[in-house]
Amino acid sequence: MIEQLKKLCSGLDVEYFDLRYESRHVEKVIMSKNEIMNCGSDTGDGFVLRILNKGALASVAFTKAEQAPLAIKKALENSEVLLLGMSEKKKIAAAPVVVDTVKAPVIEDPRQIPIGDKIDITRYYSELLFKQPKVANIEISYADIYRNKFFINSEGSELNEELLTTRLAGGIITQEGNLTQTVRFAFGGSNGFQKLRNRETEALEKAKIAADLLTADPVNAGTYRMILNPGMAGVFTHEAFGHFSEADIVRDLPALREKMKIGTKLGSDNLNIIDDATMFDQLGYYRYDDEGVAVRKTNLMTEGVLTARLHDRFTAAEMNEPISGHAIAEDYRYAPIVRMGNIFIKPDKYTLEELLSSMEDGLYIGDPMGGQTSGENFTFGANYGYRVKGGKIVGMIRDINIIGNLYKTLMNVWMIGNDFVLKESGGCGKGQTNIRSCYGGPHVLFRELSVGGK
Amino acid sequence: MEKLLKIASAVADQAEVYWIEQSKDKLSFTDGKADSADTSLSSGIALRLINKGKMGLAHTCNLLDPEKLVKQALLATENGTEANFELPHTTDLPVIESYSPEIESMSKQDLMQTGKELLSYIQSRVKGQVNLGFNYGTASSGLLNSKGTILSGKYSGFYAHAELVFAGSGSGLHAFKAGVGPQKLDYEMLDEMIELFRIAENQEIAPTKRMPVIFTPMSLHALLSRLETAINPQNIYNQISPLCGRLGEQIISNKISIYQDPHNAEISGASSYDSEGTPTQKLYFFENGIYKAYPTDLNYAAKLKVKPSGNAVRGSYGQLPAADLLNMMVPAGDKTLAEMISSIDEGIIVQSLMGAHSGNVLNGDFSVGVSTGFMIKNGKLVARLKDTMLSGNVYETLNKVVALEDKVLKMGGTWLPSMLIDEVSVSGK
């Protein structure tokens, strides 16, 4: 394949180019009410060409090899148009030339498992959960996604990397009268099918939460001391802070550049935030990004001070900062953009009990359910939570939407737990969907956060 | 394509081939500078088979080996969804052209020039970050099935967008136009955006209480999407929708009707047939607040024992068709936006919301942050809102509609007026 890619680009004479070819095979089982809604496999493939011509960067995606000459022509045209409206020429940061082949790091390979077994495990969890009290429906889906990526660039890099994602995810819908509640769960990751086995206890816990939510009290709007569980703390880290660590977002919002200057003190002294896609065993694992740069562990915030950000080769050159290997494309239809790999708050030393007793009165917030940021302001839904009085959990709450300001909230981090949980199924949308975007962290206690309510 | 259908029809009870060829182009400006010009060329073919009462789908970008695709689809039927329906035999449909040949011959050079003119117009009037974008494309698609249906069509679309970003934040004000053919952002729209941008220099937190709220078309979706979920036939079949068994009942204010009109060629994607080949229809889901119909595809029409409404939509060629609204329209009311604003002593107007997908959507609950909105006092916009949330339940909120704007904003297939709603729960931090 590498040879074919080289042939397609032969004669292309520009400052820099790269060409990616990728095939993606998905096998999936979707069930609702214990009935198969969709089951089967599909394969897609395609090419993405990027060229840097006289300082203008243009890309063309195409699906057939015979379209390569047309794609090259379109890319050149696009770059010529850009030259009419650009003020600064784009530069590409230096990166090592690499020739490498990376196989997916798999323990139990889903590609070796017959579809029948995949249906069985999906049905098993579906039926198990469906039997639980108050459950009106179980929406559940299994998928394994195998991507085989080939990459060449004009500097001589030649790469082939496989990524294999496995997941079983769903929603438990409970009902009483006109009221319905939904609780989501997801098991999976980057290293195989074994992640889906023996997870009954966790699944049943979620079903119990879904049933309990029917009689939980809607939360009262207001400002509280708040503990976020690892899932929710992870969403905060990813959505509110992480996206502002992505160099393309900072570049495109000049008003933020001042605020997000490296060396600025933005958080409390105990706050350390890291992106580490090199950690083995987690959902976001990869070796090379879609510009052929090896990903590295990046300390984004150290003791409350902004110390680095996530880059592709173009943003690194523009801001004169180190490359980090975070240029990621959803699949063969897209040119890469800057993405997080695996972002989290570094755990500290406190147990959950210590966090609860330090908080005394406040809210303990459970798993995330949707969220959005708008500039420095964020809104995150939470599936469930608890009222805490005198350090003790006293009652369940629902209809929780946390609203806050990034900068105030970073300064309001009070105590950080000693536990560490990463999410097992991703889906970060930033124009493209990144199903391997991983985040999580420890329990985190905040001095002040607000919830909306009725 | 015909060959593929022939091979497939020989081995399965029913077969359907869907194909699409697309070309998309984009030119965008960030912070006043051209920063990307991209092209995407794609194609896809999907084969859906129904065999022994079960359905399976297989698809490919390149039809190199038809026999292999048939084999894959047949394999998918073995563990497939139950399918107790017949594919339609559809002929003699009126031709609806949601297509403008001008899109085919667009010049990016000309758009670059237009972009520069828009930029200088905005930049000469207001200081702030300006982003612009033009997206356009064409598609050809078609459908063949073993009942003898052969359909095909051409589509095009154009989307122009301008944004003024508030200093120190990622939120801002938007002006956009979308349609089947080339669109121009007119200066009136830009002037409106510029004027609001000036007011936005003042910021205020809304008081916590119930007050009138004007939802502009761009923020209204946060409310209407909850109704869309409630009338999804899968949620009706599974009896988890709050609207189960309530056809014919008054659900929301009699001022609101919600319908689709796929035969209107001005609508992006308008077509006389849906993605399974069923003829489409103009259909009221809510008429003067009364719940009249839900959309169905062949599968859920059969399960619910009703006639299919022609509402099958394919998210992409690789996905099975599923029922959804073909487009969403709310007829205009009788008040101008200025009249609505001047009728409010204390209230807010919201342009965009965040967190619209969170919360208990199925139940109709919403709890959303205002990312762009303004405080109204004594009939005038006085400041931009910060740290403000709205919450409630659509079945309560949409019964408190006071007025609808006398014109609709046409956003591709979604045509909505602004809506003034009383007693919305607002909380400021």
Is residue B155 assigned to a domain? yes
Is residue B281 assigned to a domain? no
Same domain, A211 and A231: no
pLDDT value of residue B123: 94
* Residue B259: closest CA among B232, B304, B229, B228: B228
pLDDT 10s digits, B232-252: 999 999 898 999 999 999 999
Identify any residues that bridge with B201 across adjacent strands, giving them in sequence order: none
Same domain, A394 and A417: yes
Domain boundary pick from A215, A239, A268 = A215
- Taking an 8 Å cut-off on Cβ atoms, the answer to whether B39 and A335 are in contact is no
Is residue B318 assigned to a domain? no
Q: What are the C-alpha distances in Å from A86 to residues A58, A60, B29? A: 12, 19, 9
Same domain, B7 and B98: yes
- Taking an 8 Å cut-off on Cβ atoms, the answer to whether A403 and B389 are in contact is yes
Same domain, B95 and B219: no
Same domain, B106 and B219: no
- Taking an 8 Å cut-off on Cβ atoms, the answer to whether A81 and B425 are in contact is no
How many domains does the structure of chain A reveal?
A: 2
pLDDT value of residue A369: 84
Mean pLDDT across chain A, nearest whole number?
93
B40 touches chain A (CB under 8 A): yes
pLDDT value of residue A429: 73
Is residue B293 assigned to a domain? no
* Residue B12: closest CA among B49, B48, B47, B46: B49
Domain boundary pick from B177, B195, B213 = B195
Same domain, B42 and B167: yes
Partner A, chain B 316-335, Cβ-Cβ below 8 Å: 318, 320
Nearest-by-Cβ selection for B112 from A84, A87, A378 = A84
Closest-CA residue of chain B to A78: B37
Same domain, B63 and B172: yes
B62 touches chain A (CB under 8 A): yes
B354 touches chain A (CB under 8 A): yes
Nearest-by-Cβ selection for A39 from B76, B166, B356 = B76
Same domain, B77 and B220: no
- Taking an 8 Å cut-off on Cβ atoms, the answer to whether A78 and B166 are in contact is no
B343 touches chain A (CB under 8 A): no
Mean pLDDT across chain B, nearest whole number?
93
Q: What angle do CA A450, A253, A307 make, to 5 degrees?
A: 75
For residue A81, which residues of chain B lie inside 8 Å, CB to CB? 27, 34, 37, 108-109, 112
Q: What are the C-alpha distances in Å from A384 to residues A115, A227, A398, B319? A: 35, 12, 5, 32
Is residue B267 assigned to a domain? no
Same domain, A345 and A429: yes
B302 touches chain A (CB under 8 A): no
Q: Predicted confidence band at A38 (pLDDT cuts at 50, 70, 90)?
A: confident
Same domain, B174 and B220: no
Same domain, A202 and A225: no
Same domain, A262 and A298: yes
For residue B57, which residues of chain A lie inside 8 Å, CB to CB? 38, 40, 42
- Taking an 8 Å cut-off on Cβ atoms, the answer to whether B389 and A67 are in contact is no
Same domain, A446 and A351: yes
Helix, strand, or coil here: B60? strand
Mutation choice for A interface testing from B208, B389, B394, B425 by most A CBs within 10 A = B389
pLDDT value of residue A253: 82
Same domain, B77 and B155: yes
How many domains does the structure of chain B reveal?
A: 2
- Taking an 8 Å cut-off on Cβ atoms, the answer to whether A401 and B242 are in contact is no
pLDDT 10s digits, A275-294: 999 998 899 999 999 999 99
B60 touches chain A (CB under 8 A): yes
Specify the long-range contacts of residues B320-325, CB closer than 8 Å, at least 24 apart: B320/A38, B320/B48, B320/B55, B320/B57, B320/B81, B321/B274, B321/B275, B321/B276, B321/B297, B322/B234, B322/B297, B323/B232, B323/B233, B323/B234, B323/B295, B323/B296, B323/B297, B324/B228, B324/B232, B324/B295, B325/B228, B325/B260, B325/B285, B325/B295
- Taking an 8 Å cut-off on Cβ atoms, the answer to whether A399 and B38 are in contact is no
Once rounded to an integer, what is the mean pLDDT over residues A341-346? 97
Q: Predicted confidence band at A453 (pLDDT cuts at 50, 70, 90)?
A: low
- Give dist(CA B195, CA B384) in Å, integer: 12
Same domain, B361 and B393: yes
Please tell me the distance in Å from A23's CA to the nearest CA on chain B. Answer: 11
Same domain, A156 and A277: no
Q: How far apart are the first and last CA of chain A?
A: 58
For residue A373, which residues of chain B lie inside 8 Å, CB to CB? 170, 354
Once rounded to an integer, what is the mean pLDDT over residues A301-324? 97
Same domain, B176 and B207: no
pLDDT value of residue A403: 87
Please tell me the distance in Å from A388's CA to the nearest CA on chain B. Answer: 21
Residues of chain B where predicted confidence (pLDDT) is lower than 50: none
- Taking an 8 Å cut-off on Cβ atoms, the answer to whether B359 and A29 are in contact is no
Is residue B135 assigned to a domain? yes
Handedness of CA A203, A209, A212, A215 (dihedral sign): negative
pTM assigned to the model: 0.86
Closest-CA residue of chain B to A373: B354
Same domain, B113 and B177: yes
pLDDT value of residue A40: 80
pLDDT 10s digits, A408-435: 999 999 999 999 999 998 777 777 888 8
Same domain, A29 and A172: yes
- Taking an 8 Å cut-off on Cβ atoms, the answer to whether A372 and B129 are in contact is no
Nearest-by-Cβ selection for A36 from B80, B109, B371 = B80
Q: What angle do CA B21, B24, B30 make, to 5 degrees?
A: 165
Domain boundary pick from A194, A215, A236 = A215
Same domain, A414 and A445: yes
Same domain, B120 and B185: yes
For residue B45, which residues of chain A lie inside 8 Å, CB to CB? none
Is residue B297 assigned to a domain? no
pLDDT 10s digits, B39-62: 999 999 999 999 999 999 988 887
pLDDT value of residue B245: 94
Question: B341 is in which domain, residue-wise?
Answer: 203-224+332-428
Q: How many CA atoms lie within 13 A of A271 on its CB side?
A: 23
For residue A32, which residues of chain B lie inside 8 Å, CB to CB? 234, 238
Once rounded to an integer, what is the mean pLDDT over residues A149-160? 97
Same domain, A202 and A221: no
- Taking an 8 Å cut-off on Cβ atoms, the answer to whether A401 and B170 are in contact is no
Q: What is the CATH number of the domain that holds B73?
A: 3.30.2290.10
Asked if pLDDT for residue A1 goes beyond 60, the answer is yes
Same domain, A206 and A221: no
Closest-CA residue of chain A to B128: A255
Does ipTM exceed 0.90?
A: no
Nearest-by-Cβ selection for B240 from A81, A116, A136 = A136
- Taking an 8 Å cut-off on Cβ atoms, the answer to whether A405 and B242 are in contact is no
- Taking an 8 Å cut-off on Cβ atoms, the answer to whether A179 and B363 are in contact is yes
Please tell me the distance in Å from B103's CA to the nearest CA on chain A. Answer: 16
Question: A137 is in which domain, residue-wise?
Answer: 2-215
Same domain, A236 and A379: yes
Q: What is the 3-state secondary structure (H, E, C) of chain A?
A: CHHHHHHHCCCCCCCEEEEEEEEEEEEEEEEECCEEEEEEEEEEEEEEEEEEECCEEEEEEECCHHHHHHHHHHHHHHHHHHHHHCCCCCCCCCCCCCEEEECCCCCECHHHCCHHHHHHHHHHHHHHHHCCCCEEEEEEEEEEEEEEEEEEECCCCEEEEEEEEEEEEEEEEEEECCEEEEEEEEEEECCEHHHHCCCHHHHHHHHHHHHHHHHCEECCCEEEEEEECHHHHHHHHHHHHHHHHEHHHHHHCHHHHHHCCCCCECCCCCCCEEECCCCCCCCCCCCECCCCCECCCEEEEECCEECCCECCHHHHHHHCCCCCCCEECCCCCCCCEECCCEEEECCCCECHHHHHHHHCCEEEECCEEEEEEECCEEEEEECCEEEEECCEEEEEEECEEEEEEHHHHHHCEEEEECCCEECCCCCEEECEEECCCEEEECCEEEEEEEEECC
Q: Predicted confidence band at A11 (pLDDT cuts at 50, 70, 90)?
A: confident
Q: What is the CATH number of the domain that holds A203?
A: 3.30.2290.10
Domain boundary pick from A154, A183, A215 = A215
Is residue B251 assigned to a domain? no
Please tell me the distance in Å from A174's CA to the nearest CA on chain B. Answer: 9
Nearest-by-Cβ selection for B37 from A35, A45, A82 = A82
- Taking an 8 Å cut-off on Cβ atoms, the answer to whether B38 and A59 are in contact is yes
Task: Using the CB atoms, write b or e for B70-98: b if 16+ within 10 Å.
Answer: bebbbbbbebbbebebebbebeeeeebeb
- Give dist(CA B184, CA B162) in Å, integer: 11
